[in-house]
Amino acid sequence: MPDITIVWDVDNSRGDWQLVGPALTTGNDLDNGILISLFTDRTANPDDPIPDGTNDPRGWWGDLGEDVPIGSRLWLLSRAKQTQETLNNAVDYAREALEWMIDDGVAARIDVLAQWVRSSFMGLQVILYKQDGTTVASKSYAWAWNQIS
């Protein structure tokens, strides 16, 4: 049975379920996997500085005792400066979050590109490839955050 379809709501910077009339749309399992991997808060590493000043490493309770946690550490960039280092971190965090797709054979290779779309607005492009080099999926996301000036 296919998953419920999740769509990226650009205006509100979040994923949401898609409806057709009164029913939830199903399908797009690959898109859902990418969205959940990128935009679910993965537990911070012990040496990660927490941007809101708390000691809350976030994450999902179901990851306790698991080797590979769900989600990404992109949330750690919520107050990062608009620098090349922040873009590099975003690419690293996205690759880390999507690595399971390579490990599970969903994709042979994944390219991740990050860029500043405008002030306080980052864009991320994810391209998944099959073993033969053809594209499985190419998705673009953009979101705003409260950067430090």
The model's pTM is 0.83
For the segment 59-84, what is each residue's pLDDT rounded down to a tens digit?
A: 988 888 888 899 999 999 988 999 99
What is the CATH number for 100? 3.10.450
DSSP secondary structure string for all residues of the chain: -PPBPEEEETTTTEEEE-EETTEEPB--HHHHHHHHHHHSBPPPPTTPPPTTSS------GGGTT-SS-SSBSGGGGTT--SSHHHHHHHHHHHHHHHHHHHHTTS-SEEEEEEEEEETTEEEEEEEEE-TTS-EEEEEEEEEE-----
Q: What is the domain extent for residue 22?
A: 6-43+69-144
Q: What's the number of domains the chain is made of?
A: 1
For the segment 121-138, what is each residue's pLDDT rounded down to a tens digit?
A: 899 999 999 989 999 889
- Is the confidence at residue 1, as pLDDT, over 60? no
